[in-house]
Structure formats: C-alpha cells, structure tokens
A and B are shown apart, each in its own frame.
Chain A
Amino acid sequence: MSSAPRPYTLVAELTYACPLHCVYCSNPVDFTRHEDALDAADWRRVLREAERLGVVQVNFTGGEPLLRPDLEALVEEARSLDLYSNLITSGIPLARERLERLRRLGLDNVQVSIQDARPDESDRIAGREAFHRKIEVARWVKELGFPLTVNTVLHRENLERIGEVIALAEELHADRLELANAQYLGWALRNRTALLPTKAQLERARSVAAAARARLEGRMEVVFVVPDYYVEFPPACMDGWGRRFIVVSPDGLLLPCLLAHTLPGLSFGNVRERSVEELWSSSPGLAAFRGEAWMPEPCRSCARRAIDFGGCRCQAFHLTGNAAATDPACSLSPDHGLVEAARTEAARPARELVTFSFRTPRTSRDHSR
C-alpha cells in the first residue's frame, strides 16, 4: 500500500522503566512483558528512517527516557536530521550537567511532569518523593535556555487546584502548560473509580483554564484536554489511526498509539526486523483500522467519521471487548451507557472508599496474570 499517509511525529518510547509509579500512567498495564530491546544503533536507524518518511518531530519518552544512558546519542542523531526534539520526562534522575549536555547536543524542548501544585499530593500520586526535585529540574531547564513545557494530569483529586497549578507554571516561566485530564485507559482505567471527576468539577476547572489561556496569551500556551468520558463526540485519537504519529515501543513494535499492542489479534511488525517505511506502509496492525472500511454503524454513515475516525480503538476494546466498536465515549455509540454509568458513579453522594493501584513492576505482573 503506497498510499499510506505522511507521518509527522515519532514517539520514541525508549523504556517502560520509570522511577515514578503514577496511578494513571499511559504505559500498558502489562509493561513488564516488554523489555528494552533496541540499542542506540537501532534507535538511530529508526530516527533516520522515520525522517525519510516525513517525520519532523520526535518525542523521547518512556517510562523515563533519562534511564537510557544512550539518550545523548539519540538527541545528537535527531539534531543531525534536523528533527524537532522533545524530552518528555519526570525529571528524575537528572543532574544539571546532563541537562546542559543535552542542550549542547541540540535538544529543543523539555517537558516536565508535575503531578500536583502541592508537594505532598504530587508525591502521593507519583508514589514516591519527587516534587521538590522536579521543581529544581524545571528551573534548570529555563536557566539553560530551553523552552519548558509543564504537564499536569488532572483527575478528581487535583482538579480543584488547577489555579494553583497554573500559578506554579507561571512562576516557573513555562512556555507551555498542558492541563491534560487523565484518559481512562491502562492504569487510569484500573484506578477509574478513584480518579474520574464529576461533570461539575470538570466545568469549573475548564473555565479557570479558559481564563488563564486568555490572560497568558502570547506568554504561556495553556492547553486543557477534556477526558473522553465527558465529551459528546470523541476526539480524533492520535489524529487518526496510523495517520500522523508513529509510536515505537521499547521492544521495537511500530504502533499507531501508546496502547495498540494491548489489542488482541493485531500484528504489528518490529523495527528490529523490518524498516520503518515498510512497517508504516504494510503492517497488518496499522492497516486494520486505517481509513473507514472497518467502521461499524453508527460511524460508517456518520458525518463526523472523517473528523474523529471513530474515536479510540483501545477505549472501544477495553470497555466493550471489541476493538472495532464505535468508541463508547461517543454519545451515538450503542455502548455509551458504559461511560454514562461511570459518570453517574463519579457523581454519587456516597461512594465506596477505594485505594490506588500504583504502577509498579509487581502490580504489573499481578494484573498481567
């Protein structure tokens, strides 16, 4: 199939290992099954092949990409290919000298995750002490002349403090603030009862974010991402399956999104065996949900099918057991009741006490059994 669309962004998941244990981590729940299989030479080849296909941006992410001692070589390669490179990090473990080195090698942007504006709350979500170190790292980022993105994942426990998060990002002179509500897949789905906000919480937060966006225009870009559970129609997940984004997992699978390898029956090739070009154009897993041929009703005849591409395949599978179903987040989905039930549960005046399932190798192995 030579008609594969042009990809723009490579998401390079260098490792699933991470010093943090965030309860909404976007890595697959069975991450311990996927080992780091690509060495620096493999990753450099992936960068070159992706650039040849049209990719202009690379996100170095994980897990925690700083755990790879060869990150420097990859940043250097990205620079030599004139790729816009973004390091997506928890900030741990990082020494100022290493950040300085990455700056010299041509890294373009640093994104630091901060779980909450309050130290104790932030550390509780991360499952370890990390907040103060993160703030220090964010200051180094700016001192060294990098642009800084602050990313905070929002949920029912921190939505009320969105104003404090914005104030913190301003104080850190962030260039971009991502206020991204958790999406209820993977670890966040495991912890959904504890994390899913109410509609009222969300609307208050949204208006605070909108006011900040207007006030900070031109100084700090403020992005507010709504959870799919509270939209009428789902967004275009990854701008559409196999359209704009190439994700390469730590074990070398070439994927359309962060969790596609959790869908059964799809085969995604490995970049250790075949080139990025070949996999992008002919991997059966990518072909499965490209375009519209796979769509069921109501998507098939829906005017929005070219806008949202049927929504998120992983959400469809993890809620209904069928990856080819209409995304249940869509109000037109026959399975929308699953999402409505979760919203109703979130708004109940008296709720069962729940405990978090932290993302750790041990809980991963337990869940994978």
Chain B
Amino acid sequence: MIPPEAKPALAPKARLRFDRTSGGYLLLYPERGLALNATAANILKLCDGELTVDGIVEKLQGEYLDRSAEELRRDVLEFLEEMSRRGLVRVLE
C-alpha cells in the first residue's frame, strides 16, 4: 500500500514520450511500452519525486471536477500501485 504522503517518481528505466501518431503519451521502458490514456499520462507527469500522492490529487482536482477528492485519490493510488508492481514507478517515503 502506498501511503498518501509518499512521493512517487518514475523508475529510472521508464520515460514518458508524447506520441505524434496517436496524439497520446507512451510510457517507454526496456523492450516494452505502454500506451497511456489521458488520465494515466496526467498522473505520471506529476510523479516527479517531489509531490506527494495527496499533492498529485490536489493538482488533478481542477481537471476532474466530476469526482470527489476521495474517489480521485482512490483511482490515483490504484493506478500508482499497479505501476509500482510493474517496477515503473518508485515510491520515495
């Protein structure tokens, strides 16, 4: 479980890249890549190792007005946990 005060950052092997062909973002890592939807890309762009999970949720709130902070935090955490299991996001405490 990632605590809300944790500071997520992209793993050293992962890099975000804008993709002209699809108009979206890709998360690239050795031999692989993930095509991200807009929300996933927005979350990962904020994973700079400085912002906490709560900080990320706060920044996103302006763009996702239809969701409560509670729901948004749950979605962000769920996504970051999956990325962390894949070794693509590191969590700095």
Interface residues in chain A, defined as those with a beta carbon under 8 Å from any beta carbon in chain B: 6, 8-9, 54, 56-57, 59, 82, 84, 86, 108-109, 111, 145-147, 149, 175-176, 217-221
Contact = CB atoms under 8 A, between A and B. Distances in A.
Contact of B30 (A54, A111, A217): A111
Given A57-B28, A86-B31, A111-B30, A221 B87 contact: yes
Contacts of A57: 28, 31, 33
B19 interface: yes
A317 B91 CA distance: 49
A8 B33 contact: yes
A59 B85 CA distance: 25
Nearest to A142: B12
A220 B30 CA distance: 12
Given A218-B85, A221-B87, A147 B11 contact: yes
B12 A145 contact: yes
A218 B13 CA distance: 12
A283 to B, nearest CB: 21
Nearest to B84: A218
Contact of B86 (A84, A146, A218): A218
A8 B18 CA distance: 14
B87 A56 contact: no
Contacts of A6: 21
B13 A109 contact: yes
Given A84-B28, A218-B87, A220-B87, A54 B12 contact: no
Contacts of B26: 56
Nearest to A175: B13
Dominant secondary structure at the A interface = loop
Nearest to A51: B20
B72 to A, nearest CB: 24
Contacts of A146: 12
B12 A175 contact: yes
Interface string B24-55: 00101111010000000000000000000000
Contacts of A221: 86-87
B17 interface: yes
9 contacts: A54-B21, A56-B26, A82-B18, A109-B30, A176-B31, A217-B85, A218-B86, A220-B87, A221-B87
B15 interface: yes
Contacts of B13: 108-109, 147, 175-176
Contacts of A220: 87
A178 to B, nearest CB: 8
A175 B19 CA distance: 25
Nearest to A147: B13
A56 B19 contact: yes
A109 B21 CA distance: 24
Nearest to B90: A218
Interface in B76-93: 84-87
Given A108-B13, A176-B30, A217-B85, 16 more contacts: A56-B19, A57-B33, A84-B15, A84-B28, A109-B30, A111-B30, A146-B12, A147-B12, A147-B13, A149-B30, A175-B12, A175-B30, A175-B87, A218-B84, A218-B85, A219-B87
